[in-house]
C-alpha cells in the first residue's frame, strides 16, 4: 500500500471515529468489538460507543474482561486503544473476533513475565490499560501490523513466532 493510499484510508477511517473530527452521532456510527481471550476462554461482544458517546456499562465490561487474569486486578482500558482496535478491524475488512493474548497486566504480573522473557518492557503500557496483544480470527497478523503502522496511532509490535500484534496508545514506534 503506497503512502497516499495509507493517508487516505487513515483519514477516511479516523474521521467517523471522531479522532480527527467531532463525533456526529447516529446509530449507524456505533462501534462494536468482539473478543475471545486465549487464556481464559471467555468471549465478549458489545457496542462500546453508540455513535454519540462511549457507553459506560460497556466500558466497565471491557475493563473487567481485559483484567489481569492472573491476579484478577482490573484497570480502566484507554478508550483510544478501543478505537485503535475498531479502526484496525474496519480497515482490514474483518468480520472476525480479536483473540486476546494480553490486556491489562498488574505490576506484579508484568514483573513476573519480565523475569521469564526479555520481551516484556519494565514500564509496559499494559500496566496502564493502554496496550493489548491480539490477533484477528480472519486476518493475518501481518495485515494487522500493516494497517496499524499506517494508522500511526501508537506503538506497534509484531511477534512472528507467536503470531500476534501488540498495539498501544503511547508514542508511535515499531518493533
Inside any domain, residue 30? yes
Inside any domain, residue 70? yes
Distance, in Å, from the CA atom of 160 to the CA atom of 166, rounded to the nearest integer, reads 11
For residue 82, give Cα distances in angstroms to 71, 119, 132, 153: 23, 23, 10, 12
Inside any domain, residue 175? no
Give the global pTM: 0.84
Distance of CA 153 to the CA centre of its chain: 11
Element (H, E) at 70: none
Q: Which domain holds residue 32?
A: 3-170
99-126: average pLDDT: 92
pLDDT tens figures, 69-81: 999 999 999 999 9
Q: Tell whether the model's pLDDT for residue 42 goes beyond 90.
A: yes
Distance, in Å, from the CA atom of 85 to the CA atom of 137, rounded to the nearest integer, reads 14
Domain at 127, CATH number? 3.30.1380
pLDDT band of residue 122 (cuts 50, 70, 90) is confident
C-alpha cell at 92: 482490514
The number of domains in the chain is 1
Cβ atoms within 10 Å, residue 88: 27
Amino acid at each position: 500500500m503506497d503512502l497516499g493510499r495509507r493517508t487516505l484510508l487513515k483519514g477516511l477511517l479516523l474521521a467517523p471515529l471522531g479522532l480527527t473530527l467531532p463525533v456526529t452521532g447516529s446509530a449507524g456510527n456505533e462501534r462494536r468489538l468482539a473478543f475471545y481471550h486465549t487464556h481464559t476462554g471467555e468471549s465478549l461482544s458489545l457496542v462500546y460507543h453508540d455513535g454519540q458517546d462511549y457507553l459506560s456499562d460497556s466500558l466497565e465490561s471491557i475493563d473487567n474482561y481485559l483484567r489481569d487474569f492472573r491476579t484478577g486486578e482490573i484497570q480502566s482500558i484507554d478508550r483510544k486503544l478501543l478505537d485503535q482496535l475498531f479502526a484496525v478491524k474496519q480497515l482490514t475488512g474483518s468480520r472476525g473476533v480479536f483473540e486476546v493474548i494480553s490486556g491489562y497486566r498488574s505490576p506484579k504480573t508484568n514483573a513476573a513475565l519480565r523475569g521469564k522473557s526479555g520481551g516484556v518492557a519494565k514500564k509496559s503500557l499494559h500496566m496502564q490499560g493502554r496496550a493489548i496483544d491480539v490477533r484477528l480470527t480472519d486476518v493475518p497478523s501481518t495485515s494487522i501490523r500493516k494497517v496499524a503502522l499506517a494508522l500511526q496511532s501508537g506503538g506497534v509490535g509484531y511477534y512472528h513466532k507467536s503470531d500476534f500484534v501488540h498495539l498501544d496508545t503511547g508514542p508511535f514506534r515499531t518493533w
